Amino acid sequence: MNIHARREEIIRIVREGTVHSQDELLALLRKKGFKLTQPTLSRDIRELGLAKTPAGYVAPGDLASVTPITTFTPIEVRQERLEHLLKGSIKFAEAAGNVVVIKTPPAAAQPVASALDATPPEDALGTVGGDDTIFVAFRHAGAATAFARNVQQIAGLSTRRSARA
């Protein structure tokens, strides 16, 4: 069998099933009557442009269906979305050590937490969002206090101490 038939079979095998390793692919090809070595298979994989993903080998044109491709959003757009969400969704924001606790109406915390993750505040280590509460951890208490004040200002809350909802 020639190189073109072998490569067509490789693509067919990868598209029709899940193949996690070269050894597995080699065994499948040999089962179908192809006589090849592992180095030949490696060269075929490279020249075909197959990509190895956590889901197994993928043909070049099929990669987008396995790995979702996110579109680029400019920082200005992400910041504008965050400010819009902060203005309309924040009921309470207060620093407690190096953590800021943010309260929202029910089901509003996830969109705000997602927007914070897309535009992370300076010195933020991570964000956890529940149904109506968000925790944002910072490296230092000073960064947490500054962020809480900024959120209070954007949301139109009292900067002294916002009332609990």
Query: Angle at Cα 38 formed by Cα 14 and Cα 66, nearest 5°?
Result: 25
pLDDT band per the 50, 70, 90 thresholds, residue 102: very high
Contact yes or no for 98/135 (Cβ under 8 A): no
Q: What is the pLDDT of residues 58-92, one digit of tens each?
A: 887 765 554 454 556 788 888 888 888 888 889 99
Span of 10-19, 71-80, 127-136 with lowest mean pLDDT: 71-80
Is pTM beyond 0.85 here? no
Q: Where are the domains of the chain?
A: 3-66, 75-155
Contact 143, 110 (CB under 8 A): no
Q: Would you tell me how many other CB atoms lie within 10 Å of the CB of residue 70? A: 6
pLDDT tens readout for residues 40-59:
999 999 888 888 877 788 88
- CA-CA distances (angstroms) from residue 85 to 18, 75, 125, 131, 154? 42, 15, 21, 15, 10
Reported as a pLDDT band with limits 50, 70 and 90, residue 162 is: very low
Specify the CATH number of the domain 3-66.
1.10.10.10
Section 110-120 average pLDDT: 88
Higher-pLDDT residue of 135 and 15 is 135
CATH 3.30.1360.40 is held by the domain 75-155: yes
pLDDT of residue 160: 53
Please provide the average confidence, as pLDDT, over all residues in the chain: 86
Locate 136 and state its tokens.
């944002």
pLDDT of residue 73: 73
